Structure 1
Amino acid sequence: METVKKWLDKILSMICVGLFGALVLLVTWQVFTRFILNNPSTFSEELAKYCFVWLVLFGAAYVFGENGHMRIEFIQDALPKKFKMAVQIFIELSIIVFSALVLLSGGLTITKLAWTQMSAALHIPVGYLYSVMPICGVIIIFYCLYNIYTIVKNKKPLEIM
């Protein structure tokens, strides 16, 4: 499980760096064509939108893998070790439920609905834009299961970044 996590971390970080680089290039091209050439690029704005949405969701999944997501710690820190472990497991289970219902199930539904709709500039199915939701839902669920496994295996709460 730890090997899968390390590979997934590496893959997600490379995807995020690649998407960010592509986003910078696309937006730079859009600005250049709009203000210098006075002929805005038709594809770069829409492709930048796709890159941004994908970057946000893959980045969120990566942050879950690093256990660096936002949380309110002062209540959790006041608890004894066993309660702290139980609270962390409850939080991970809550995230699993959210990811399964919203990202995975809802993402699959919206992807299927949007698969027949074509994007205006790129002429590809809009389903590609939404397909990142179920992918990231599965990744976040894996990270939550990994965190629960780590808590139970080590018999101590996770270290928070």
Structure 2
Amino acid sequence: MEPIKKGLDGVLRGASVALFALLVVVVVWQVFTRQVLNSPSAWTEELARYTFVWVGLFATALVFSERGHIAVDFVVTKFSAPVQKAVAVVVQLSIILFAGAVLIYGGIRASRGAWGQSLSALPTQVGVMYLVMPITGVLIAFYAVYHLLAVLRGVEAAIEVDDNPQVV
């Protein structure tokens, strides 16, 4: 499972960097055509919007891979190790449930429902743009299963403790 995770991490990193670079180029072109040429490009707004959503969801999946998401654990850290492990299991199961119900199931329904709708400025359908939801749902569910198995085996700490917390 580890080689699959590392491969997916690499693909997600590359896709996130490429999409972010595309987003920067598209937005710069949009501003240039509007401000300098006085003739705004019609397709840039739609492409920037959808690229932003795709890069955001891919980066979210990558954050789940690294267990970098926000966790409020100041109460859980006060419990014993078995209770912390039980909470970690419940959290990973909740993530799997959310990814399955909202991102995978809901994303497939949204994509199917919008498959026949064309975008006004791009040569594709809205449903294609919604495919990012089930794709990232599968990725997030995979990472949650990976972390769940690691917690159950005792390979991964149930609760990540930050040794250097920063107070703002």
Moved over 4 A (4+): none
Aligned residue number for residue 74 of structure 1: 74
Tell me the TM-score normalised to structure 1 length: 0.96
Alpha-carbon offset, residue 42 of structure 1: 1.0
Higher helix share: 1
Aligned residue number for residue 53 of structure 1: 53
Give the 3-state SS of the residue equivalent to 1:40 in structure 2: coil
Does residue 103 in structure 1 map to residue 103 in structure 2? yes
Aligned residue number for residue 35 of structure 1: 35
User: What amino acid is aligned across from residue 122 of structure 2 in structure 1?
Assistant: L
Q: Any gaps of 5 or more consecutive residues in structure 2?
A: 163-168
- Once residues 145 and 123 of structure 1 are traced to their aligned partners in structure 2, the CA distance between those partners, rounded to angstroms, is 37
Alpha-carbon offset, residue 154 of structure 1: 2.2
**Percentage identity across aligned positions?**
43
User: What amino acid is aligned across from residue 107 of structure 1 in structure 2?
Assistant: G
Deviations 1:18-45 (A, max 9, x none): 0100000000000000000000011111
- Once residues 107 and 124 of structure 2 are traced to their aligned partners in structure 1, the CA distance between those partners, rounded to angstroms, is 18
Q: Any gaps of 5 or more consecutive residues in structure 1?
A: none
User: What amino acid is aligned across from residue 135 of structure 1 in structure 2?
Assistant: I
User: RMSD value over aligned CA atoms?
Assistant: 1.2
Conserved 8 A contact 1:99-1:137: yes
